Structure 1
Amino acid sequence: MNADQLLRDTLREWAEETPAPARPDLAGRALLRRRRRRATAVTVAAAAFALLVGGVAVPVLAESGQAGRSGPGQRMPNDVSAHPEESPPRHLIAAGGVAVSAYQADRKTRKQDGVERTTYTWYLYDPGTQAYEKTRWGWLDVAPGMRRAAVLEKTLPASRVGILDLATGEVTKWIPLKHKAGGVQWSPDGKRLVVTTYSGYPDSEALSGSGDEHTAPVRTGYYLVDVASSQTRYHPMGVDTSKALISSGRLDVRWNRDGKLLLVPLPPGGAMETWYDLEGRPSNKTPSYEGPDAPPAGLSPDGRYYTVGDGWTATVKETRTHRTVGAEYGGMTLAWADNGRLVRWDCRPDHNCQRGMGERLVLTDPTGRIEIPLSGYRYSDTPQDWEPLITRR
């Protein structure tokens, strides 16, 4: 809204209020009356323009190390929910089209008979309390739109998968499974599930030097589940335990970004094919900017950028030229909030951090120079150790 428009609106309102002739200082009084309203509108408009124009630029908000504090005239974008003082978060962490729908925390590790077993507690966002609440589930995934979750009971592997209504907190249906499951993931369209089955507790790892490198449970296959009809289709897809490399139990099958292929980590016999079609056949197609070694963020929604990294450092590149945008920075890229903003892990200002320690969630532009802190810092082996589940909302 500009000054001319403000003046016209005020003159029209006063003309309706009284038939008397306008006073000589009418224009000055009009601008004075609307000055505060105009300043607020201009500030918000400027922030929105800087954030959205070109899908790349972001406003000068919180610089690294400022923990979400803003300087004069700075505002948090309306589509960002940040709590830089909370780790793990208690209230919603969200930006653009994505949100932390749940997270794992309270990790406990026990070693017995040459196997290291790790257990987690899941905290799920409850739209009723507007907070993350501790759950009784052993594993879960939240559907796009954040209205439903697929849940497995606490004792893994589980003999059924439940569909949880997030608004009511009630399981609306249970889908029985002949083969016990330890992992579940929604398809990108929110209509199907891939449910990974295991011979025992999935989050187990055989200890080096234990005398038997293959005592940990292994993947046995996976289900494709149509949620509306509850129909299931099972595909055996075990792990070749003759390979000395295999010592970890959790090797969940995952969807690719358009839901047409499945990534099956370490397929039988050590074959190089990792992508399978929905009929369970190895696929010759390899999705661009996806794979077991690709950062979770991958390709931006408009296809202009993609991320590369080694699990710790990350770089954003242009897909057309493969030119690096900005500099390499520490912290895995997790998701694109929109065409020009990324959610990623970020190091402490002193850079004294490593994977899982001394990191916080931030929202950043592709260059990584300007960022908004979204959460507090997390630390390994403390109550602040947590792993987010990021979902499109």
Structure 2
Amino acid sequence: MTPTTPLLAPTHLGQLPLPHRLVMAPLTRNRAQPDGVPSKLMETYYTQRASAGLIIAEATTPNTVGQTYPNIPGIHTRPQIEGWRRITDAVHAAGGHMFLQLQHGGRVGHPANSGHVPVAPSPVPLPESIHTSTGRQPSVTPRELTKAGIRATVADFAQAARNARQAGFDGVEVHSANGHLLHQFLAANTNHRTDEYGGPAERRVRFTVEVTRAVAEAIGPERVGLRVSPGNTVNGIEETDTDTLYPALLATLAGDGLAYLHLVTMNHDHPLFPRLRALWPGTLVGNPALGPALPADGGRAAAEQLLAHGADLVALGRAFLANPDLVARLRTGAPLNEVQGALMMYTGGERGYLDYPTLAQASDARYAAVSSGS
């Protein structure tokens, strides 16, 4: 692969210059401190991957009740802001840019993790157990958000966006995907409301619209992305009207001047992809569905297909997880590191997190092995 390949050609995101069209997708790794303060390990991890050009940092909670699992970072306390600032300063110094994903878990949470009964659009529990610091526990029935609770949550997202800017992030991504709170409002099986936030698709999109617009008003729409995952069934989601739900959402927000739409788990040949591309006038970040086994090319072929069919940028997750220097490897056609055991993604510590070698490190290790006669 050469630098003239569209995937590796320079581009921009609004006024933000990018060295190529690859984005590091947000990846939950459970390496924050118990109080949600980003750790030194996280600083090293993100700095190692600054050549991504644009990093969308992992799901980060805007308030305490929105916490999903143990050791998830937050952005609602001063120490959390200061912890993230150390990371953004290091990434910027290494030439990278960072957005922060804002995620409220909704019913994907547990009192053992957050100290609160989780909240959701309706009192419909997660149909599976949930990970806590003492092992998996049965999910609990969430409290239905009142209208006052909805207003407070919207305000928390807006404040989290302001906090993210104080922490040095170039922007934020509103997470309305993967079965978390905003997605729970979108999906009919988790949203049984009969007020203006429930019922037909045009009303179920209201909460996502209100959150996104409040965040955009707080820091400017050009610094705000929106992530959606049409048809995704993770965390017990069942969409019955995907083909009308997402066009209704995009039609409402298309004129707001957002930085990008991040479209997850959808390849170029999905029948809804061209419709959503046509509805969205701004930057579209594709994120291919690669299956449980990472392909040998790290998703490069799928990324190029997305670009050829209308995506402007492409986000890859596991390929960046296992290859701090992914861009250099793609430029030279070098082989990629394989992802280590899945459990290592979430077990804490350096193993499976900071110990993936770069090409230079692998070469040095081989040279040392030859020199020592081993």
Give yes or no for TM over 0.5.
no
More strand by share: 1
> Normalising by structure 1, what TM-score?
0.32
The structure carrying a bigger helix percent of its residues is 2
User: Of the two, which has the highest radius of gyration?
Assistant: 1
